Structure formats: structure tokens, C-alpha cells
Structure 1
Amino acid sequence: MQPQQGRAAPGARAAPGPAGFGRRKDEPSRQVRPVPLPPVQQNLNYYPQIFWVDGCADAGAPCPTAAPAAPCPAPVPERGRKPRNGSERRSAGFLVMFLLILVAFTGVGLSIFKIFHLEKEVDELRESASAEHIPPASQKLTGQRKEARRAAHVTGNPAQQDLPLEWEPTSGHAYTSGIQYHNRGLLVSEPGLYFVYSKVLFRGSACDSQLLSHVVYKRNPASPGSLVLMEDKATNFCTGQRMWARNSYLGALFKLRKMDSLHVNVSKIALVNFEESKTFFGLFKL
């Protein structure tokens, strides 16, 4: 603030003024008094003191009216972070935990959905493979191809003329796969280990105690004659004059060569029941 100047009395001498203030020789002496300020808060910046210069040093000079001091600006508090209480910290912790749990459950749900989707695709591939007879993926990778089983099952044929027995190769339960039915016998086209079986039902209206025989044998163009593989014979299988019946079953493993043909003989054709479930003949490769 600018200090006010008083009028100089005539003939007055200039007195030395306070340090830092200059005056003319003809100016009256002045007194310096501090202007009181509001108390400074502990956390406010320091403001320097402001001095008011009053030129009333001479008793004879009238003191000018002092101008009112300008009000000091209101202290500005420091900007700082508002301290968080315990409830806010707990709320933030619960929010973080909830987000982590949500992310974990989302990952588990996606994994389960992916597994179900893969299982559905595998089932569809299996169904399409079975419908189109496509070999499984494991066989594709190894280069292996599923080979059709070589087997045959023929049933009794009532239209019999002579031996060996004649069979039905296609109707009813009969079938052939990789095995040919030829000249009343089963013809082997590939060598290997085969299981051969035959069943014959004998029945009669009177018991005469005659010999019953059931024979399976094989032939091969490279070997003369025939070779008996299995045979069953029975005597005294009935008593009295009443009706009777007897089953004869043969079955065993044999190593067969290519072009082997297998046939069945019985002791008497008239005693054979040729129903397909009672008399049949077959083989399959292991």
C-alpha cells in the first residue's frame, strides 16, 4: 500500500526515517505502525506483514485520517484426498471378489458348453460313419480297413435226393459272406483258422435201434478222396415202439486251405428233420 504523506511544518527539519523509507528534508517525521492481520492458520501459506505509515510524528501536525485496511482474502485449504472409511474399503473388496467369481463361473460354463458341443459332433460323426459304412477315424489314421468277416450259415432243405446233404444258402436265416455255397458244400476262398459246426435232428415214428451217424468232411482238388473232420454215431437211442427224436451237434476249430469244400453226411435222409432251426451247417473265420 502506498504511504500517505503529511504536510511539512514551516521551518521543520527532516528527521531520519525508518530503514527502507526515504523522505525529503521538508517532510514531517512519520511513525510506522503494523496493521493487525487475522490469525494465520497452521496449514496456510505465510503472508508477509503489511505496515501502515502514519505521518503524525510532530505534535503540532494534524494526523491524517487513516484509510481502512483492505480485507485479506479468505485462506484456501489445501487440496488433498479424502480419507476412505472402512465401509468403502469393504465395498471395494466385495466388488473385486464378485468380479473374480463371475469370471471363474463364466470360464467353467464355457468349458462345459464346449465339451457338450464336442460330444454332439462325435455322435454325429459316428452316426454318419455307420450310415455310410465309413471306417472310424482311428482306422483311417492307421491305414487299416475293417475286413468283412468270412462266414456262412446254411439251413436244411427238404428237397433231398441223395448224399451229401443239400442246404438252403439264402432264404430265412441262411447267408454267406466271403464263403461260396457250391456243389452242396461250403467252399473256402481264403486259408486260415475256421470254426466249423453242424447240427442235425433225427426223429422217427418207431424205434428199431438202427445206427445213427452224422459226419462232417472236407475235399480239396489238390488231394484225392475226402477227410473226415467230425463224426457222431449213436445206437440204442430209443426204447419201445413209440416216437423218438435225437439231436446231434458237432463243432470244432480247423485250419483250412484255399479251395477246401466242406460237406455233411447222415446215415439215413428219411430220419432227418429239415426245419431251419433244427438242422443247419456253417463256419466262420477267426
Structure 2
Amino acid sequence: MQPHQGRAVPGVRAVPNPAGLGHRKDDPGRHVRPVPLPPVQQNLNYYPQIFWVDGCADAGASCPPVPPVAPLPPPVPDRSRKPRSPRERRSVGTLVMFLLILVAFTGVGLSIFKIFHLEKEVDELRESAIAEHIPPASQKLTGQKEQPPRKEVRKAAHLTGNPAQQDLPLEWEPISGHAYTSGIQYHNRGLLISEPGLYFVYSKVLFRGSACDSQLQLLSHVVYKRNPASPGSLVLMEDRATHFCTGKRVWARNSYLGALFKLRKMDSLHVNVSKISLVSFEESKTFFGLFKL
């Protein structure tokens, strides 16, 4: 069927076809008639209007049936966002699992570092508590008894006079009264060194008599040492006195020796005097000792 094309006439307006008038779909032989309009000022730039008429130009010709209107196609899906493939999904799952494992290992590492730091603080606290003789906090919390700190045995000895004298060197009292030995052995009337080092050695002897003996011209007080590795003896300290008495009066004289010495292992120290009968063996007046620095 060919559409019928008409031209617009100036001054004429197309009037819509009311019901029952003019052209109808079932009457293809009829045409639209122009209706005259009153004169109107027309725009010079007027464009002709084109009307398409649905119908057959020839009334006697048979018009083909109008084809049915096809239904609208379904909406096209949005392909800008493609669905993830299984490989991409596995990659995302692997990444998430790796992040979770990393977080777990980070937490474990932080916990280990914290525990190590706490153990170090406890050790420092224990050392400072031992140094200050204060029970550490761990013992307070657990209720453990405080253990006394171990004290190093100091090498020292103090010997007092012994009246039961027979011969030289002088014999001493190592136990009774003010006498004691600590880390030093009293052996063969002398002090035996078991650990080498610096020692302060001292000795005091009180000489006294009822009358001045003209035959006695010298008083001597000597401290010496012996060692099995060296022959003979070595004098460490010595005191000599002359003209210590006059006339027939009672007299007394003190002799004190003291100095610092570097002693070897197995050194033994002894004391000699010029005459035993003139020595007062009271423990506060005649003594002999040493201590390690």
C-alpha cells in the first residue's frame, strides 16, 4: 500500500477527522479535504507540512492485511560489569586467607615479644632485689620464703696469746675468747694461706719485766713467712728496741707491726720474739692476725 502524500495549502489548516467523518481505516478510498481558514498573518519563513495518510489510494484495490505489531524485545542486560570467573574467585579467596594468616602470625609474634620483655623485667627485678636484700615481687606473689643471699666467706684470722709456751715460734690460741679463723687455717703455730691475694698482716706483743736485767740488751719482734716452694724463711716485719729499761724498776714496752702483703698459696706466717719469758700473753695485749682485701 502506498501512502498518500498531500501538500499544505497556504491559508488552509488540516482539521482532525471526527468520529464517523472523513477517512477511516476500513474506508481507504476516502481522502482528507482541506478546510479553508480565515486569513492569518503568516510567517514568511513557513515550512510546508507533510501528511501521511494511512490507506489505499485505489478504492477498488484490495489492501494487504496490516502485519501484527511485534512485541518489544527483552531488556538488554548490563554487560559493563562482567561476572567473576571461578579463577578470580579462587584468587580473592587465597588473598583473604593469606591476610588472615598474616594477622595471626603478627599476633603470635607480638605475644612472644611481650612475654620475653616481661621475663627480662622479672630477671632485672630479681637481681635488684637480691642486691638490696629485698624479696622479689615473684616470691611475694607466690608466697615463697625469702632466701638469704649467699655471703662470700671472707678470709681472716685473729689469734691471741697462749701462756703455755715452750719454744719459738710463738704458739697461739685460735678458738677461745676473741680468737677465730675464717677461710684461714692455723697450722704448725702459724697461719696457712689457701688463696693468693693481698692481705693485711698485723701483730702486737707486750714486753714487761719486774727489774731491768743488765744482761738483756735487745728486744726483738719479728713476723716472717715460709713456703714449701722456697727454702728458708723471709722476714716480713721486724721491730728492735734497746735501752728499754733503767734501774731496778718495773718496766713495759709495746711492739706493734702491721702492713699489706701479696701472699701466695701455701705461705705460712709466724711470729718470733727475742725472749719468751718477757712476753705478756693476755689476749688483749699480745695477738696476731690477718685479713684478705
Partner amino acid, structure 2, of 1:282: G
1:250 equivalent to 2:257? Answer: yes
Q: Structure 2: which 5+ residue stretches go unaligned?
A: 1-131, 137-144
Q: Structure 1: which 5+ residue stretches go unaligned?
A: 1-121, 136-144
Task: Give me the identity figure in percent.
Answer: 87
Partner amino acid, structure 1, of 2:286: T
Question: Aligned in 2, Cα 1:250/1:123: closer, same or farther, shift over 3 Å?
Answer: closer
Query: How many residues are treated as equivalent by the alignment?
Result: 153
Q: In 2, Cα distance between the equivalents of 1:194 and 1:242? A: 40
TM-align CA RMSD: 2.2
Taking the TM superposition and a 5 Å limit, the aligned residue runs for 1:153-192 are 153-192=158-197
TM-score, normalised with respect to structure 2: 0.50
The structural deviation recorded for 1:123 is 8.8
1:274 equivalent to 2:287? Answer: no
Q: 2:243 aligns with which of 215, 236, 256?
A: 236
The structural deviation recorded for 1:193 is 0.1
Question: Aligned in 2, Cα 1:206/1:223: closer, same or farther, shift over 3 Å?
Answer: same
Q: In 2, Cα distance between the equivalents of 1:171 and 1:283? A: 17
TM-score, normalised with respect to structure 1: 0.51
Taking the TM superposition and a 5 Å limit, the aligned residue runs for 1:17-166 are 125=135, 134-135=148-149, 146-166=151-171
Q: In 1, Cα distance between the equivalents of 2:160 and 2:285? A: 9
Q: In 2, Cα distance between the equivalents of 1:219 and 1:123? A: 42
1:224 equivalent to 2:231? Answer: yes
- Report if aligned partners of 2:193, 2:263 keep a CA contact under 8 Å in 1: yes
Q: In 1, Cα distance between the equivalents of 2:187 and 2:283? A: 19
Q: In 1, Cα distance between the equivalents of 2:135 and 2:147? A: 12
Q: Which runs of 4+ in 1 moved over 6 A?
A: none
Q: Deviations over 1:229-260 (max 9, x none)?
A: 00000001111110000000000000000000
The structural deviation recorded for 1:184 is 0.1
